[in-house]
Every structure is written in C-alpha cells, then in structure tokens.
Structure 1
C-alpha cells in the first residue's frame, strides 16, 4: 500500500495502530545500522533509504524525473510488513548469506521475493539480522554493484 506521506514522521503517523511499533522498530534498526552516506526519505510511497545526489549524481535509471538510487525501503502492506533490499537482489553472495542466517534468527519460514522480505508475523521481525544486513554494504559499494550489475 503506497502512502501519500511526504516525510517519515507523516508516514508513521498514518500507520494502523498494530503496525506502528513494528515499523518504528524496523526503521530504528535501519537508521542505526546503515553505513554513513545513505539518506532517509519517502520513495515510492514507502520509507526509503537511498544514495543521495551528492554521493551519486546520476541517480536511479528508471523514470523521467531524477530519483536517488534506492537501497532499502520499508512498507506496511495489506497482509505483511515488507523490507525491500536492492543489494540482496543484485549481490548473490549477500542473498545466500541472508538465506542461511535467517533460520538462525527466526522460527518462521523465510518469505521472500527478489528483493522483498515479507514479515507476516509483524511482532517477530528478526531485528538483529536486519541490523547485520544493513551493515553489509556502504553507499559506494552499492553504487559499484548497481553500475556493474543493474545499469548495464
């Protein structure tokens, strides 16, 4: 579900009561663990963590308007909370690490698409694993992977 919020605070304010704490906790973990250089804002109607223009002038290659290079997004969807991680999609080694670690941090089966990690049990998000995942890639590393894998 995309939001019309223009700030993270507005996004949180508009969440259903049962989603506010899990999304807030997930947001806090991302903010505390992302390497310096990423920025928080709203992207695609979700909380977004991206490489800003000052770090990567070309931005994201999709769309008519300039968009910062997305890295992580958090969204409250109808039946789950989603964490979208572009680095997992672009880096097979990171994907394999995450899949191997997930069962060590959660008693629930991993529900994942290409870059979307779905948490249907919103009170059981493996925040310590998400913290580790956030620390795995700097903005500069993400730009390098993006340019070599995605932006061919």
Structure 2
C-alpha cells in the first residue's frame, strides 16, 4: 500500500512538471508553439499555431517584438463569431478573421494593452494576427484568400 502511494505521488509530480513545461510562465510569451507556413499571394507567413484554449488565451501576450513575416494562427474547434482583445499584448496587431477556405472575412486593427473587443463579422474557425499594417502594406483585405488553409490538416 505504501509503495502504491509513493508511486502515485511520483506520477502526479511528473504530470505536474510536464504540464508546467508545456505552458509559459506567468508574464512570459509563448515562443515554442508549432508553426505553419501560410501565404498571401507571393508573401510567406511563418505562423505559430495556437490550438488549445490555454494557447489561444495567452496568444501574443508579453511579446516585445515580432518579425514582420511572422504571426499567430488561432485555430478553434467550431466556427463561431470570434472576439479578441489586447490585454497584456505589447504590440499593435491586425487580426484577420478567416473562413475555412482561407478567405479573409474581415480585418481589425488592435491597439496594445486595451480591452476593446474586436470580432469577426461572421462565424470563423481561424484568426491570424500579424503586426499592424502588414496586411495593408501588401494590399491584403477582406475577400483576399490566404494559402495554406487545408481544413483537413488542422
């Protein structure tokens, strides 16, 4: 019986440590998410993929900078109206709300460290955040189609 309690304690400690390693420390950016290559015409986007609720909730918080060709793709289980805010987010961002086929439904410029809500105009499963101005400088707007959205692989 004592051995079983020791074993269960060790297993619980190992699971706790593994969970802690998989999540960023409070106040730290998440930098080690899986990545996917997307495209906007001839422009390639290197996007981290936030798939779990924890990853989506942290998003790009606490980042002091982000290279111009990088972003974060938020993947949701079901299409729904998605709303984002910028609490603890230090960079000005633009959110592209994206349909399953890669078509941008709408874009929203978001200011750092605000609680303003920015929502999709229709149900979507994907939201791509990039540095503010990235889409505008490349002529990418609502109705444009992004490449790399293969719904069967996400």
TM-score w.r.t. structure 1 length? 0.25
TM-score by length of 2: 0.24
Between Structure 1 and Structure 2, which shows a larger proportion of helix residues?
1
Return the index of the structure with the highest Cα Rg.
Answer: 2
Structure possessing the higher relative contact order (Cα contacts under 8 Å, 6 or more residues apart): 1
